[in-house]
Amino acid sequence: MRKSIDFCILLLSIVVLVSSCAQPIDQRRDLELLTSIENALVNVVTRSKPAIVSVFVRGIEGSQPQDRVGSGFIFRKEGYILTNHHVVRDPRFITVKLLDGSRFEAELIGTDLNTDVAVLKIERDEAFPVIPLADSSRVRVGQFAIAIGNPFQLNHTVTTGVVSGKSRSILQGGFGFIRYQDFIQTDAWINTGSSGGPLLNIRGEVIGINALIRRRDKSENTPAPAMAGAGFAIPINLVKTVGDQLIANGRVIRGYLGVFMREVKEGIRVRPGGTNTPAYLGGLRRNDIIYEYNGKKVKKSVDLQLLVAESQVGERSVIRVLRQGHERTFNVTIGELPPHLAGQPVEIKSVAWEMLGLSVRKLQTGDFERYTYLTNRDQGVIVERVKEQAPGYEAKIPNGALIVAINDHKVMDVRTFEALLQANQDAEELILNVKSSHGTERITVNLRK
């Protein structure tokens, strides 16, 4: 009995001793864990800062000069910088400042109003530091997020938080152009001047470009229900696609279906925007519900928008719909997003517009990558817009068509195209050699009033 009592006392003493030692051990472990996390964040910031830039813009607002400040980051060692369109729009001069204080005059390579993405270029003999890009499709809600930017001209300000949400569409309509919205939401604070800076993961990879913050006020773009502290970034996969096209062409060429959309339980209910849209010509009709696009299920309008936008012009896309409860499949030839929906100006003070109702642009390097019917050996001009009821419209010349020749005279560029039209102003008709998704055609355009 005594031995049992002694054993119990000994066991109790061991438990008390272990318990008294456990708290300091756990504290040390907690401190080591927190220190490891802290060091990881510091290392990400230290590695990333040399490639993050401050952007200073002398722009125009109406007839008055206006200075703007934003952020950006170098993503190619040749000096290509990603930032926001709204930071660098309508610039007179753009200056970029690096972490080491060096300043460069930047060239605006191109901007894309639809996604609010822009690309700048700076130059020097040695390679620039860069930040690696993540795969934003693998971003998880709840993961760490690190925002670095130039708020209030406080260079390389760092804020941290988590990814609060994905696939956010928060901006209201009324733009007059299509706005592609697939924002990453974060509580990492984004202030005025942070726009264009990177949103990073714990590995130091860019998951998005910081674009805006919503707060409770009465301004047009921040309605009352929006709460303070919600920042939004453009996913880097979308940004990279846009950036690569801007570098190749100075502009973005997007696919176009031509439908109004509304999300419903089964998918996306659509209404073609006219009888000459790719959707209507491909067989889609009012109240069709699209549930699959080229083998991918679609539930959200933004998903369908982005899939169509990334399709090549002239591509035959397989679209599955529900029509009055029955499944139907259509092969729809994708068109090109019209310039006015891309927020681009269209040249209408031209001979081509006056005679044919056509606005054209030069054929650019890289166009053959976005148009299925073009090759890098083609020459001519691309049709950007067709005026309704004009001769070109009556002749059914489609948007995105390549005009190769007029009356068997080769069209080399916009200047020769205009000159050939000028020389035939008194003609009753013209024969245009055209390449489009319909193939190669000789189209007769009747010019008689």
What one-letter code names the amino acid at 45?
Answer: V
Is the distance from CB of 92 to CB of 108 less than 8 angstroms? no
Q: Are strands 316-323 and 335-336 parallel, antiparallel or unpaired?
A: unpaired
Q: Are strands 107-112 and 206-214 parallel, antiparallel or unpaired?
A: unpaired
Catalytic, 116? Answer yes
**Token digits of residue 58:** 């002398």
For residues 165, 81, 369, 314, the Cα torsion angle rounded to the nearest 10 degrees is: 40
Q: For the chain, state the CA radius of gyration.
A: 28
281: left (phi over 0), alpha (psi -120 to 50) or beta: alpha
Beta-carbon-side half-sphere exposure of residue 420 (alpha carbons within 13 Å): 22
Catalytic, 86? Answer yes
Alpha-carbon span 445 to 425, nearest angstrom: 12
Beta-carbon-side half-sphere exposure of residue 341 (alpha carbons within 13 Å): 19
**Token digits of residue 245:** 């096209």
Beta-carbon-side half-sphere exposure of residue 219 (alpha carbons within 13 Å): 7
For residue 441, give every residue at least 6 positions away whose Cβ sits within 8 Å of its Cβ, in sequence order, or none: 433, 434, 435
Residue 321's Cα: distance from chain center in Å? 27
Which of 86, 340, 409, 438 is the catalytic position? 86
Q: What angle do CA 197, 201, 205 make, to 5 degrees?
A: 70
Instruction: List strand residue ranges (DSSP E) for 273-389, in order.
Output: 288-293, 296-297, 316-323, 326-333, 335-336, 358-362, 381-386
For residue 419, give every residue at least 6 positions away whose Cβ sits within 8 Å of its Cβ, in sequence order, or none: none
Instruction: List strand residue ranges (DSSP E) for 194-277, in order.
Output: 198-200, 206-214, 230-235, 255-256, 259-264, 267-272
211: left (phi over 0), alpha (psi -120 to 50) or beta: alpha
**Token digits of residue 409:** 């005279």
Q: Are strands 335-336 and 255-256 parallel, antiparallel or unpaired?
A: antiparallel
Which of 85, 112, 116, 301 is the catalytic position? 116
Which of 71, 194, 195, 311 is the catalytic position? 195
Is the distance from CB of 208 to CB of 73 less than 8 angstroms? no
Query: Catalytic residue positions?
Result: 86, 116, 195
